[in-house]
Amino acid sequence: MKIISYNVNGIRAALRKGFAEWLKATNADMICLQEIKIDAQQFPYPIFENLGYGCYVFPAQKAGYSGVAILSKKEPLAVEKGCGIALYDQEGRILQAHFEGFTLMSVYFPSGSSGEERQAIKMQFLADFYEWIKPRTSENLIICGDFNICHQAIDIHNPQANANSTGFLPEERAWLTDFLNLGFVDTFRYLNPEPHHYTWWSMRSNARAKNLGWRIDYQMISKPLLPKLRKAFILSQACHSDHCPTMIEMEL
């Protein structure tokens, strides 16, 4: 089973750049999207339904902002929107699809890049998400999304210069360590120890062409699923967003 995660930075913009044609070629079974930036009524269901996907959408209340979705060729047993905390749910940050044997999540963590207030919200989200997920570590969970955190120096092109940058702050990195220690596995890093693999690049200074990037997008699995993990990729040649997609292959 192929599962993709992709922060598309606006689903309409990604479609204009050939996202649907690319997705068809991947033949993925399930796709977790972040930053869809569209409301549920405007979501382009027919495009994805014609490719064989059911569409499950959890937009932000604010127009043109945030929001997550799951596309699946297999119908879920149930879909859950949100985590029960109004601040995050109105921003469309967590969507779960429950299947027989596992649960798939599309998650978009807040960014602190717009200032101190949003950084404080980001840190509160991290604390709340940790407590929300902590009782569920024995479940078969696949958590896909933009975490807006680089975990280690290997995950960012210039760790020294970014030591005080949101997304690479010591407290954010420590949180990600604590999250993994709950019983989760960073699938890409588990199978790929090499440096210079990134999932996001600044739009400035020709950063993507120079591969001056950050690895902030993850596909995490709970440890009970680790024996089923076969492959993990970063699909850096896909250029529909300032992020690129990640993909795992699992025997599910």
Rounded to 10°, the helix 116-133/170-181 angle is 10
How big is the CA angle at 176 (ends 34 and 145), to the nearest 5 degrees? 10
Beta bridge partners of 108: 146
237 Cβ neighbours under 8 A, 6+ residues apart: 244
DSSP 160-178: TTTTTSTTS-HHHHHHHHH
Query: Rounded to whole angstroms, how far apart are CA atoms 236 and 244?
Result: 5
**CA-closest candidate to residue 250, choices 28, 96, 76:** 28
49 in Cβ contact with 64 (< 8 Å): no
Query: Rounded to whole angstroms, how far apart are CA atoms 190 and 242?
Result: 24
Q: One of 29, 89, 128, 146 is an active-site residue; which one? A: 146
Query: Rounded to whole angstroms, how far apart are CA atoms 52 and 129?
Result: 32
Query: Rounded to whole angstroms, how far apart are CA atoms 41 and 34?
Result: 17
Tokens 């991947």 found at: 26
Query: Rounded to whole angstroms, how far apart are CA atoms 156 and 44?
Result: 34
Task: Indicate if 146 belongs to the active site.
Answer: yes
Catalytic residue positions, numbered:
146
